[in-house]
Amino acid sequence: MNAKSTPTSSTQADPATDAPARESQNDSNAMWGGRFSQAPDSLMEAINVSIGFDKRLYAQDIVGSIAHCKMLVDQKILDADAGDQIISGLGKIREEIEQGKFEFKNSLEDIHLNIEGRLTEIIGADAGRLHTARSRNDQVATDFKLWVRDTIDAVDDALKALQFALIEQAEKNAATVMPGFTHLQAAQPVTTGHHLLAYVEMLGRDRGRFRDARARLNESPLGSAALAGTSFPINREQTAKALGFDRPTANSLDAVSDRDFALEFLSAAAITALHLSRLGEEIVIWCSAQFSFAKLSDAFTTGSSIMPQKRNPDAAELVRGKSGRIIGSLIGLITVMKGLPLAYSKDMQEDKEPVFDAAESLGVCIAAMTGMIGDIEFNIDRLRVAAGEGFTTATDLADWLVRVLNLPFRNAHHITGELVGIAEKSGRSLDELTLEEMQTVEGQITEDVFSVLGVAESVASRTSYGGTAPDNVMAQVKSARERFL
């Protein structure tokens, strides 16, 4: 709805829009009862309405209402015939929504009143009995928890699929040598499989955070009513069990004002997005002409409108970019919640859009990254050459001096630095120096030193637990499949 610059009361509607205005007033008054004599001002409706986004909660709202209805019947609070009509009507509404036949009305504000309003049209006045012993406050908290729980399950499945793709590539590249970086400077040779498995571990922690969030949210607010509970003899354990919750919430004030579950979801989503962004950045670097470490197919790249030679890694860049959007959603909701007294305040209507947006963005990013990891082709020859650039086996030389010559590491570090200086001045690598040149710096060095100066030998020697040696990578691939898949 577009608000005009000068507020206009809905009771002074333009003749051309008079019928919708009367409908809005009638709908609003029917839902709100006798407290209000006028429909809301058009600007009030514009700021108050949430049906445009919270209609996503329709399935959870209907499931929660059915559980509530059955409990009311079992507790003799609601007549069984009325309960049957309500449940039948809710089933019809679900069909209408899923078939695209349901008319969502801004005048009814949100998904709860839209469903109740349609239920009244279908079965009549008994629809109003459904709201006995509950409030929109506990209703929305329940719906939102159910939605977040369902979304966490979907995210977990998606992250598992991404881990599978990474593990498959790690196995294929268990012995593929590449440069490992610190400060984006060549540091030591590693295997590509080892590098990819680092992201498998990150995603494993992400899945753990989502599981933790799911476990904490799995308490049912339903039955807390507006904030103080209800005088009706309800059975909260029954509705909690029916909806798959572990238990009912212990405090009604906390239950209707809690949005920790949304914040935890966004926090886990933000950290996951950060990990995806880091991997996206690496793919951008790897696929650049200057690095040429890897290549993506046309399925995940685009061209330039002016430069025909370009192949842009747009999918990776968008994963990187959307991370800011997801992190922003977390900051936004934290800011909304930080100053709210107990219990419910209308500010909390602002909880859903950031969660919905972050969930959608995260889902797209995980799917895109899974596709890219399956699609990417590594330039094994270029990786091998790059692995030896920048004197990456210098640490292996220092370790050899300690292990074989029994020198203190600080002495070995100094000797290695001198040898790197000699190689750098002459434009050679360490393994291209002669034994005689090395002995001018340290006379005890023998021919055996050359056994550690090749990149393949370097990675093969890194056999400590968690190290980059190809045999380690294969063992970790097996372990990762057992732990995560």
Q: Which of 147, 5, 142, 169 is nearest to 65 (CA)?
A: 142
467: left (phi over 0), alpha (psi -120 to 50) or beta: beta
Query: Cα 442 vs. chain centroid, distance in angstroms?
Result: 54
Residue at 141: amino acid letter = A
CA distance linking residue 186 with residue 389, whole number of Å? 7
Q: Which two tokens stand for residue 332?
A: 């936004």
Q: Choosing from 88, 288, 297, 304, which is the catalytic residue?
A: 304
Reply yes or no on whether 195 is catalytic. Answer: no
DSSP state of 175: T
Q: Choosing from 183, 231, 305, 464, which is the catalytic residue?
A: 183
**Distant-in-sequence, close-in-space partners of 175: CB < 8 Å, separation ≥ 6:** 191, 193, 470, 473
| Summary count for the chain: helices (H), strands (E) | 19, 6
**Distant-in-sequence, close-in-space partners of 54: CB < 8 Å, separation ≥ 6:** 110, 111, 140, 352
Residue at 235: amino acid letter = N
Contact 434, 446 (CB under 8 A): no
CA distance linking residue 225 with residue 221, whole number of Å? 8
**Distant-in-sequence, close-in-space partners of 43: CB < 8 Å, separation ≥ 6:** 3, 7
Q: Report DSSP letters for 16-83, one per residue.
A: GGHHHHHHHHHHHHHHHGGG-SSPPPHHHHHHH--HHHHGGGHHHHHHHHHHHHHHHHHTTSS-HHHH
Query: Cα 325 vs. chain centroid, distance in angstroms?
Result: 11
Contact 468, 477 (CB under 8 A): no
Burial class (CB in 10 A: 0-12, 13-18, 19+), 457: middle
**Distant-in-sequence, close-in-space partners of 144: CB < 8 Å, separation ≥ 6:** 57, 60, 261, 262, 351, 352, 355
CA distance linking residue 149 with residue 216, whole number of Å? 10
Reply yes or no on whether 304 is catalytic. Answer: yes
Q: Report DSSP letters for 92-104, one per residue.
A: HHHHHHHTT----
Task: Give the residue numbers marked as catalytic.
Answer: 183, 304
